[in-house]
Amino acid sequence: MLEVSHAFLNFNGLQAINDVSIKVNDGTITAMIGPNGAGKTTLFNIIAGVYKPDSGVVTLDGVDITGKKPFEICNYGITRTYQVIKLFTGMSALDNVLVGMHINYKLNFFQDVFHTKKMRQLEKETKERAMELLRLVGLEDYAGVTASSLSYGQQRLLEIARALGSNPKLLLLDEPAAGMNLKEKNDLCDRLRIIKNMGITILIVEHDMSLVMNVAEEIFVINSGKNLAYGTPDEIANNKDVIEAYLGSGD
């Protein structure tokens, strides 16, 4: 489904991404791991349109999306969460999800602001859908609470609910488990599987190995901006290169 082939990106002399290719298969949970500074988030930002690669191609279902702006990427069916949480802090949890559904609104200004019948109908439907998504991540009781008042783990879950709002084909999760406790992490694994079963493909960047090994079906390992390994969790766990990259070589 998603394919990044031979991506290069240079930041003022620092070769952040140096020929990386990844392929995410339809309907899977794919993880991208690697030591700090390996370029995982940078690659994420290339896919999400924040950075334009110097060379290389990003395609989604065969459509070239290289260098599209973030707000266009959303229309192609890719949404994301952030490593550093970027919620709409002053809005309620429900409103956050509603903004995530923004591209579904096709109303003109006056229909919208003067709450015509058509708008109220659409509003009712979207609110029901938003509540479903909040239920999916277990935040339905917090619908009216301001996003900034939620706990750290809840904020991460809310980011996922918001990202699901626009009915994406591909969900990009940037360290969704950071700052979560063990129970929350286990819940997250279950929820990710539910999302997968809804037919949404997931690409996840995560430092927490137990979570990755638990939930991912395929894993890409990246080191110093290069592909290091690719395989199933078991293959990766026994891969000599990967162990070396994480723990250093024996000599």
- Site for other proteins, rule CB under 8 A: 48, 50, 69-71, 73-75, 79-80, 82, 86-91, 95, 98-100, 102-103, 105, 107, 109, 112-115, 119, 123, 141-142, 144-146, 149, 162, 165-166
CB atoms within 10 A of CB 34: 24
Q: Which is nearer to other proteins, 174 or 218 (CB)?
A: 174
In angstroms, what is the minimal distance from the CB of 202 to other proteins? 17
DSSP symbol at 166: T
Q: Which is nearer to other proteins, 59 or 166 (CB)?
A: 166
In angstroms, what is the minimal distance from the CB of 52 to other proteins? 15
204: CB partners within 8 A, 6+ apart: 29, 30, 31, 32, 172, 173, 176, 192, 212, 215, 216
In angstroms, what is the minimal distance from the CB of 48 to other proteins? 7
Write down the residue that tokens 């626009």 correspond to.
Answer: 166
Q: Which is nearer to other proteins, 41 or 79 (CB)?
A: 79
In angstroms, what is the minimal distance from the CB of 117 to other proteins? 14
Q: Which is nearer to other proteins, 33 or 93 (CB)?
A: 93
CB 16 within 8 A of CB 225: yes
Q: Which is nearer to other proteins, 156 or 221 (CB)?
A: 156
Q: How far is CA 108 from the centre of its chain?
A: 30
Strands 55-60 and 2-11: antiparallel
In angstroms, what is the minimal distance from the CB of 105 to other proteins? 5
Element (DSSP H or E) covering residue 44: helix 40-47
176: CB partners within 8 A, 6+ apart: 81, 156, 159, 160, 188, 192, 204, 206
Q: Which is nearer to other proteins, 48 or 221 (CB)?
A: 48
In angstroms, what is the minimal distance from the CB of 35 to other proteins? 26
Strands 78-80 and 218-223: unpaired
